[in-house]
A and B are shown apart, each in its own frame.
Chain A
């Protein structure tokens, strides 16, 4: 993203978001803005308007030639790929957590993460680390602090 286009992009993005939001206020929330400006629609509608005003402020700043103080870096292709891998891993871990519970899914997930995603080769990191991590969390939260950890549907 070029420096000079930052406020233009931000302004257009904020404005588009506010228009969608205001449309949703009228399409999905029952009731009216009301005589007393005091209905479930009032605050969301007002917030949508505030967002639109901020969008116009950014567009005005773009017109004046404002530039952000710190340079904004573009999101690279491999960054998108790497973050997608992280998201898939988070979802998979949550799925197995629901299925197998904390004690079984956590060491397996950390092993998979360190060995195949983070590409660690040492046995300490691949085997000892997942077991120690799971054990530490279990001892701290279940034994010492009497808190809860997820139980699976199968175990």
Chain B
């Protein structure tokens, strides 16, 4: 272990890794802070450029972008009352109320400190949990892995958006796209129509760029061409005022509870930051015993920033647990990071710790350094960061456009990839318009290969008997969880329908 840690230190200490963390953190904060841009988009844009980097450099860039994005969302939530990311939505009520009272600097300082504490605490829990789950998961066979991936997939499709069936349509479409190209096991061509370039199938990176970044470009340019530009925000001079040690003492219990909540929710595939932040907020409000203090929630209560910001940053550590130990991404951002890991030959799962231990420790260190970098940026450069909120959306979209075309083309120097990216972008735009989620498409593409190969390996082992999928306690447990997830979603929808009918009747 000590050997692996020292090897990880050597990997981490290069100039390129530090620069990657710096750039990733800064880009993440910017994309997180600007309403309309998301850190998933930033990750999708960065991903193709990591292709030629060293594995640790590339992964560090992605992780820093993820962490910067999660933290940056609070900036616009506090300053303009619009959350930069859905995870920061719970921060708006008290954060923006503090800004209106002239306490924006204190609100920003509080958010930065608790985000860093929540993130670093979740890192510690993540290190312990990943190791524990990996030791357990190493005994999984193809049937268990198939059921596990299927469980993760059904949870994400069900929980990521409001409608289970719409999520499933997108997920199945992602799996269908994954089957295009050469079949991994028998080498048979599928849906290639004799085109040699189609043999490699739909490139994951190209699909991610198309689905996450291109629809934004279409939307912004369409609004600009229609002369319906979105507004830009001129904030003026602003500073971050860090709270003192007394603050940490006062809110230590709340931070601890919110971290626990964030890590637990982050570890459930498909839930993520927004749920954790809102639960932590309502928990903080409900557990406040002093009625005067309770009354202050929503009107500029510091605890109303502490709870959601600690929780949504603790989600990052939680979401990395199923990703690194089982290869199941919890949200779009971790799905893109999974794509990054796979590009560099780092296949998440129990074997990752045996085959690539130094890289895993380097990833842990990169997360730690990224939190420190994000903290430094937000404390020292906030007045420059907020100036980006004043840039017109279509000017930012020009930069994004360059990145998407260059990124898609640079992967294989293929014009076909640009075409595929545009098709995926049109699909993403159309899906956004008809309110179908795009995240399950990416998850279908990411998890599809594992799902098919484990299914077919299990079927080969059992001579075609599907009983193999129910032959162990673990696979039966995962199967029951899949049924439970679907049943709960259907029940939830039925309750909503009944409620609506009652309301209509009463009206």
Residues of A at the B interface (CB closer than 8 Å) are 6, 10, 14, 21, 24, 28-31, 35-40, 42-44, 47-48, 50-51, 54, 57-58, 61, 66, 68-70, 72-73, 75, 78-79, 82-83, 85-87, 89-91, 93-95, 97-98, 102, 106, 109-110, 113-114, 117-118, 125, 129, 133-134, 137, 140-141, 144-150
Contact = CB atoms under 8 A, between A and B. Distances in A.
A95 B415 contact: yes
B459 A83 contact: no
Contacts of A146: 16, 52-53
A40 B186 contact: yes
6 contacts: A66-B497, A94-B409, A98-B415, A113-B398, A118-B394, A148-B49
A134 B406 CA distance: 11
Contact of A24 (B191, B401, B408, B497): B191
Given A147-B51, A148-B410, A150-B409, 5 more contacts: A58-B165, A97-B405, A117-B225, A118-B221, A144-B23
Contact of A145 (B57, B429, B466): B57
A85 B225 contact: yes
Contacts, number: 177
Determine which residue in A29, A38, A106 has the highest number of CB atoms from chain B within 10 A of its CB, and name it: A38
A58 B455 CA distance: 28
A83 B221 CA distance: 8
Contact of A94 (B19, B173, B405, B459): B405
Given A38-B460, A43-B452, A90-B401, A31 B188 contact: yes
B172 A147 contact: no
Contacts of A140: 23
B422 A150 contact: no
Interface in B399-415: 399, 401-406, 408-410, 413, 415
A86 B221 contact: yes
A98 to B, nearest CB: 6
Contacts of A133: 398-399, 402
Nearest to A35: B464
Interface residues of B, number: 70
A124 B175 CA distance: 46
Nearest to A106: B402
B218 A83 contact: yes
A40 B190 CA distance: 8
B55 to A, nearest CB: 13
B179 interface: yes
A86 B61 CA distance: 29
A145 B61 contact: yes
Contact of B402 (A38, A75, A137): A137
B188 A149 contact: no
A83 B222 contact: yes
A94 B61 CA distance: 25
B435 to A, nearest CB: 6
Nearest to B453: A43
Contact of B169 (A24, A51, A97): A51
Nearest to A36: B464
B53 A137 contact: no
Closest 3 A-B residue pairs measured CB to CB?
A: A36-B464, A40-B183, A94-B418
Nearest to B417: A94
B224 A118 contact: yes
A54 B165 contact: yes
A51 B440 CA distance: 14
A72 B433 contact: yes
Given A10-B434, A40-B186, A145-B49, A93 B19 contact: no
B226 interface: yes
B405 A44 contact: no
Determine which residue in B189, B217, B222, B466 has the highest number of CB atoms from chain A within 10 A of its CB, and name it: B222
A38 B464 contact: yes
Nearest to B434: A72
B168 interface: yes
Interface string B419-444: 10010001001000111000000000
B505 to A, nearest CB: 15
B190 A145 contact: no
Contacts of A125: 395
A138 to B, nearest CB: 11
A72 B430 CA distance: 11
Interface string B37-59: 00000000000011111000100
A96 B105 CA distance: 47
Contacts of B435: 68, 70, 72
A24 B191 CA distance: 7
B253 to A, nearest CB: 38
Nearest to B394: A118
B464 A44 contact: no
B394 A94 contact: no
Contacts of B225: 78, 82, 85, 117-118
Contacts of B464: 35-38
Determine which residue in B19, B406, B466 has the highest number of CB atoms from chain A within 10 A of its CB, and name it: B406
Contacts of A79: 222
B20 interface: yes
Interface string B226-254: 10000000000000000000000000000
Contacts of B222: 79, 82-83, 86
A27 to B, nearest CB: 10
A147 B162 contact: no
Contacts of B410: 148-150
B293 to A, nearest CB: 35
Determine which residue in B162, B221, B404 has the highest number of CB atoms from chain A within 10 A of its CB, and name it: B221
A51 to B, nearest CB: 5
Contacts of B191: 24, 28-29, 44
B463 interface: yes
B405 A57 contact: no
Interface string B252-277: 00000000000000000000000000
